[in-house]
A and B are shown apart, each in its own frame.
Chain A
Amino acid sequence: MNTHPNQSRDALPPDEVMLEPAGQFAADLRNLRSAVHRAADRQTAQPVPFGWLKAAKRRQRTSQHRVVLAWSLATACAALFCIGSLPLLRHAAPPAAEQKVIDVQPVVIDDTALLEQIDNTVSESVPSSLAPLDSLDNWSSTTSTNTESSLNAPEKKNVAQ
């Protein structure tokens, strides 16, 4: 038979059995009830003093203030945390983005400075590394006249014949 292990243990008896413990236990419960009732009666035997609820009102106000204070403190802490973490966030930005920002910035150069720079560049002497080009120019000019004269020679011969 499939029964849950706790089934027999948790099976409730009828209400009458449960609600009215019998015998000595019932008497003990009655005694406990009378004892608690008498203890409470003795404590509240004095009439309710004037302004009895004032203490409760004060406590309520204090707890409300405490809640407001706690929220203010939490908000202030959060704000401080945000302010404190701002420099960290700025430093933690990706470098590529920074580079982009630098590239975008226009370079402003004064006109006179630019003209001076151009003059200097133009008036510079030919650097030594470019010197062979001069000789090459001379050579090409001489060779061109020689070839021209050699080409013209047979023509002259034919004309003579």
Chain B
Amino acid sequence: MVSTELPPLARAESVLELADFDEVVRLYRTRIFRFLMASLSDRDVAESLTQDCFLKAYNARHQFRGESSLSTWLTRIALNLVRDHLRSRRMRFWQRTRDTALDIVDVGEWIPDGASSPEQVCLQQERVREIWKSVERLSRQQRTVFLLRFVEEMELAEIAETTGMNTSTVKSHLYRALRIVRDRASGKSEGEQ
């Protein structure tokens, strides 16, 4: 069973209770950057949107009433930024160059050294690359739910709160995303499902 890795601070304190906003940035920067990088597959854009996310949070810090956790609130802001970015990227369809795209090889290379032999490491890397490729091809909502569940390790209720969907809708997206990723990674075509 997966468990959330939120720092204890996130559950108890709100932005307003933190005297120094730098502390919020220090605690959640990696998490927000990771979600943005995985969602957009672009390091530079993820870095820019991470900055935008914290700036928006800082500007709207008085609106945060602590009804949800700080992490959920920040992730929701990041999710809106992803949606806006994808929409504007669709409008600027001529800008297709992704010089800073997160390479699938990069992701595959960062597998922890748990394998016993080089052959096993190569095999694991190959499988991770296939899964990453499959995740990149998911629809936006399926991808968001998949990443929040399996990369950010959020609970279904938390995902529902972050995305603004019903829990049943989250389950449905997650189920379909899992099935697509599993089938694609195992080499099945969509027609065989």
Contacts and interface: CB of A to CB of B under 8 A. Distances in A.
Contacts, number: 106
Contacts of B76: none
Task: Bin the interface of chain B by size.
Answer: 35 or more
Contacts of B109: 35
Task: Bin the interface of chain A by size.
Answer: 20 to 34
Interface string B159-193: 00000000000011011001000100100000000
Contact of A29 (B52, B107, B111, B150): B150
Contacts of B135: 32
A28 B112 CA distance: 12
Given A36-B37, A55-B51, A41 B30 contact: yes
A59 interface: yes
Interface string B4-40: 0000000000000000001001100110011001100
Nearest to B53: A56
Contacts of A43: 33, 37, 43, 47
Nearest to A48: B25
- B contacts with A: majority SS: helix
A20 B1 contact: yes
B99 interface: no
B149 A19 contact: yes
> Of B30, B58, B109, which is in contact with the most chain A CB atoms at under 10 Å from its CB?
B30
Interface in A21-39: 21, 24-25, 28-29, 31-39
A19 B51 CA distance: 32
Nearest to B135: A32
A59 B171 CA distance: 37
A15 interface: yes
A-B pairs, 8 with minimum CB distance:
A40-B34, A56-B51, A38-B110, A56-B55, A35-B110, A44-B30, A35-B107, A28-B127
Interface of B: 1-2, 22, 25-26, 29-30, 33-34, 37-38, 43, 47-48, 51-52, 54-55, 58, 102, 106-112, 124, 127-128, 131-132, 135, 149-151, 153, 156, 171-172, 174-175, 178, 182, 185
Given A19-B156, A43-B37, A52-B51, 13 more contacts: A13-B175, A15-B171, A18-B174, A20-B2, A25-B182, A31-B127, A32-B131, A35-B132, A36-B34, A40-B34, A43-B43, A44-B33, A53-B55
